[in-house]
Amino acid sequence: MNYLGNGFGTNTIHSGVTADRGYHSLNMPIYQTSTFYFDTCEQGGRSFAGEEDAYIYSRMGNPTVCLLEEKVAAMEGGEAAAATASGMGAISAALWSIAGAGKHIIADKTLYGCTFALLSHGMTRYGVEVSMIDTSDLEEVKANLKENTVAVYLETPANPNLKITDIEAISKIAHAYNPAIKVVVDNTFATPYVQKPLSLGADVVVHSATKYINGHGDVVAGLVVGKKDFITEVKSFGIKDMTGCVLGPQEAFLIIRGLKTFEIRMQRHCENAQKVVEYLMNEPKVEHVYFPGVPTHPNHDIACRQMKNFGVMISIEVKGGKRAGMDFVNHLKMAKIAVSLGDAETLVQHPASMTHSAYNAEELADAGIPEGLVRISVGLENAADIIEDLKQAFTHVK
């Protein structure tokens, strides 16, 4: 194990074992291999029996991927982590490792669309019972706990309306009812720089590492973080047997490379977001700013308690509804119209005409998504340039 300091940035850079012992390579090599050979059948047998520590086959473990897992476990303050081929891979591998036919999951109804789909019509197809509720209402959480409840699943801040849920309170309620219930938090929006759900009592953290953890828009990946025993189950059942969603060593290498600048990227992202919010609060064409740092946010007090600052993602409601939202987005010059988030480039999307275009007005209202809602992933450009771009785009909104 390398020498570690006290700082988050120091530990992100130095945590984990770099397996190169031969050439003192500063960077972890990309172990681009599907399999690992044994000297004898006996050694192979001991490795399969778990009596000898050895890599066997890259779906079950790879040194480059393991370094990424060690780093993200350290960043989240967890015992271990499992890397996956996508954020959805992480979420499904984690949830299949917890639930099965006859088990019950409580989930928030405001979730990333594919997670909503997995829970609402994916897992239910295989006999898992799912209650989609508002987890920011603690009484509703209490009322939905049952004998067969195995997990409470939530995002905070949630996608796309940045709803905040009290992780500590939910964990206390769930564990008081049954200590075996796993509180699973998608920490993609906040990142471990801003919020550490495990230290607030949650059991499992899942990530789309496609976003801030990689941060460069060139990899699709995911991570599950938690107790060692649970991560062993995720690797040996959720990934190996159920989903096969293993991360390749190339992708792991790129993410490890990106992590060297994770802390300074997040500092800049968060500073930029704060400046952009200050501008948007005074922009006459904005009806509403959704950001946990705004004192009028319904759970601003919880955000102050559980987040180090308020993150990077901002949603706004443009005055004038759907057409106005689209006109604003269509006239952006520097920011890119794109789904995904957490990249160096400012990325903007309009759910009513893009990700949620299949929803009618009533369904949008039910999901808490106004037709003029625009989601902004504030990038790493200079804040003044981002604001200038937003300002000029607003001049095209009638």
Interface ranges with ligand PLP (CB under 6 A): 86-88, 112, 114-115, 155, 159, 186, 188-189, 208, 210, 220, 222, 340
Whole-number minimum distance, CB 49 to ligand PLP, in Å? 34
Find the shortest distance in angstroms from Cβ 220 to ligand PLP.
5
CA-wise closest residue to 267 among 235, 308, 302: 308
**Which residue bears the tokens 């699943």?**
153
Given 20, 46, 59, 308, the catalytic residue: 59
227 is an active site residue: no
Closer residue to ligand PLP in complex, CB, 18/195: 195
**By the 8 A CB rule, do 181 and 170 touch?**
no
Contact 150, 105 (CB under 8 A): yes
CB of 214 to ligand PLP, least distance (A): 9
- Per the structure block, which two tokens stand in for 395? 């001049």
Measured CA to CA, the distance from residue 380 to residue 344 in angstroms comes to 5
Nearer to ligand PLP, 220 or 387 (CB): 220
- CB-wise, 88 or 255, nearer to ligand PLP? 88
Count, in order, helices (H) and strands (E) of the chain: 15, 12
Measured from the CB atom, the residue of 16 and 87 that comes closer to ligand PLP is 87
By beta-carbon proximity to ligand PLP, the closer residue of 60 and 114 is 114
* Helix or strand (DSSP H, E) at 273: helix 262-281
Strand ranges in 292-361 using DSSP code E only, listed in sequence order: 313-318, 336-337, 347-349
Residue number of the CB closest to ligand PLP reads 87
The active-site residue out of 31, 153, 182, 186 is: 186
Pick between residue 115 and residue 346 the one whose CB is nearest to ligand PLP. Answer: 115
Cβ–Cβ under 8 Å, residues 64 and 30 = yes
Catalytic residue among 71, 211, 268, 285: 211
Q: Is 362 exposed, middle or buried (0-12, 13-18, 19+ CB in 10 A)?
A: exposed
Cα angle: 356, vertex 170, 301; to 5 degrees: 80
- Inter-residue contact 86 to 114 (CB < 8 Å): no
Q: How far is the CB of 244 from ligand PLP (least distance, A)?
A: 15
Compute the least distance from the CB of residue 291 to ligand PLP, in Å.
Answer: 16
Nearer to ligand PLP, 18 or 349 (CB): 349
Q: From the CB of 315, what's the least distance to ligand PLP, in Å?
A: 13
Measured from the CB of residue 139, what is the shortest distance to ligand PLP in angstroms?
25
Element housing 98 (H / E) = helix 87-98
The 10 Å Cβ neighbour count of residue 335 is 21
Residue 218 CA to residue 96 CA, distance in Å, equals: 28
Are the C-beta atoms of residues 146 and 133 closer than 8 Å to each other? no
186 is catalytic: yes
Q: Which residues are catalytic?
A: 59, 112, 186, 211
